Amino acid sequence: MSAMNGCVAVVTGGAGGIGAAICLGLAEAGCAVVVGYNSSEGPARALAERLPDVALPHAALRAPVTDTAALEALAAEVQRRYGRCDVLVNCAGTTRFVAHPDLDGLDDALIDQILATNVRGPFAAVRALRPLLAAAREGGRSGLVVNISSIAAVTAMGSNVMYCASKAALDNMTRSLARALAPAIRVLSVSPGLADTEFVKSLDRSWRDEQAGRTPLQRLALPEEVAAAVVATATHLTFTTGAVIAVDGGRPLA
């Protein structure tokens, strides 16, 4: 638990299935975790309360990624409470199932929502927390941003066309920001395949089994495996930036 003792991590979308696993993984590594939420205040607060104790207290704070003013307020509150932010995990995202040939079903409002949340949101969060992340550099370790992407960025197969495009944009933005913010801040993407969250478990079993069967490792990703990759970027992959780290069981190979 001492690997990141005294560090502070902000996780947007922290109350979701993957987000919650990331919050737990970072707390187990020693981080004080800010569970960022938009509308899930109750679950976020409950998660913050059950995370393992570390040197600094955990918190649940409002972090609607499509609201720049709210993200600036979040950064100010993190500064007030902790005086630092070592890690930002951009896990907030949105989508809706629309068959790829159904161009009319992918209406302008949904397109704007997906791009605002999945692309502009991570950028806005980095912009708001950049001063704290840059100030976190010490002992040769940089501040760290981890964007939660998807293999849909590579395979162009996912919940809808614009979701796939948004994740491709996120990976491209990861590389651009890694160059722009070095050496003070490292920026990486962690790119899962379909993760076996509670939401996915509630879907049609035959569909889930089909997705697992198309994966060379013959199963879906576990949220804990995505979280382990995030923690590894902070604790072990300390000379890595601008990379997209796959946690997909080899799915693009199929």
Considering the domain boundaries, does residue 177 fall inside one?
yes
Cis peptide before 223 (omega within 30 of 0): no
In a domain, 1, yes or no: no
In a domain, 3, yes or no: no
Q: Which of 154, 163, 173, 227 is catalytic?
A: 163
161-181 helix and 108-115 helix, angle to the nearest 10 degrees = 30
Model pTM? 0.95
The DSSP-derived string for 156-202 is --SSSHHHHHHHHHHHHHHHHHHHHHTTTEEEEEEEE-SB--HHHHT
Total domains, the chain = 1
Element holding 12 (H helix, E strand): strand 8-12
Cross-strand bridge partners of residue 147: 90, 189
User: What domain range is 57 assigned to?
Assistant: 8-253
Which of 199, 188, 193 minimizes the C-alpha distance to 143? 188
- Indicate whether 50 belongs to any domain: yes
Residue 37 a catalytic site member: no
pLDDT by residue for the chain (254 residues), tens only, comes to 468 999 999 999 999 999 999 999 999 999 999 999 999 999 999 999 999 999 999 999 999 999 999 999 999 999 999 999 999 999 999 999 999 999 999 999 999 999 999 999 999 999 999 999 999 876 567 999 999 999 999 999 989 999 999 999 999 999 999 999 999 999 999 999 888 887 777 777 888 888 888 889 999 889 999 999 999 999 999 999 999 999 999 988 88
| CATH for 246 | 3.40.50.720
Residue 174 lies in a domain: yes
